[in-house]
Amino acid sequence: MAKNLYTITPDRWVETHSDYLFNFAMGKVNDRDIAKDLISETFLAALKAKDNFKGEASERTWLVAILKRKIIDYYRKINSNKGKAEVKVNYFSADNDGDWLEERIENPDYVTIEDNIINNELSEAIYACLDKINPRQATIFKLKTIENYDTEVICNEYNITPSNLWVIIHRVRAALADCLKEKWLS
């Protein structure tokens, strides 16, 4: 049985995770208001499900998993004739008739060897592409998106504004997308 390595601090979620979650949601829905709504729904669902947090994944990983499900639900809702149908999923366990999606995260035991190989190849491709990008921008990108540094810390360290930070992140993502299309997806 996995040891509970992580704890949650709901009183710090907005301060600690909202920038990251907003950036993630914007990449999926491309609408500021919808992204903000999805993050609010994520925090509310997480509060309701906080007793189910097992500490096997980081707080951010858990919140992102909830946000992913909120995004899926959003797209299902706008693409469904039923609109507000509630989505349940059955995990096929003897003691469980199905849980609400936002109360669960993917089971890491279901990762296949093929998934690991693909993830390793993608990781190598991303780092190879980052090596071709402006070193300062690549470092800032890594600090924010890979190492999860707070926006304020990065801005103070590199003497940039939060707006500059997001412009850099956007530019690096665009450069990464082009590089990955050429090197990894072809």
Q: Which domains does the chain have, with CATH numbers?
A: 10-109 (1.10.1740), 113-183 (1.10.10.10)
Would you say 154 and 140 are in contact if contact means Cβ atoms under 8 Å apart?
Answer: yes
pTM over 0.85: no
102 pLDDT above the threshold of 50? no
**Rounded Cα gap, residues 87 and 126, in angstroms:** 34
CB 53 within 8 A of CB 8: yes
In the chain, the percentage of residues whose pLDDT exceeds 70 is 75
pLDDT recorded at residue 61:
87
103-114: per-residue pLDDT in tens?
444 555 555 666
Answer with the residue of higher pLDDT: 25 or 182: 25
pLDDT per residue as tens digits for the range 26-85:
988 888 999 999 999 999 988 988 888 887 888 888 899 899 989 888 888 877 644 433
Instruction: Report the chain's terminal Cα–Cα distance, integer Å.
Output: 41
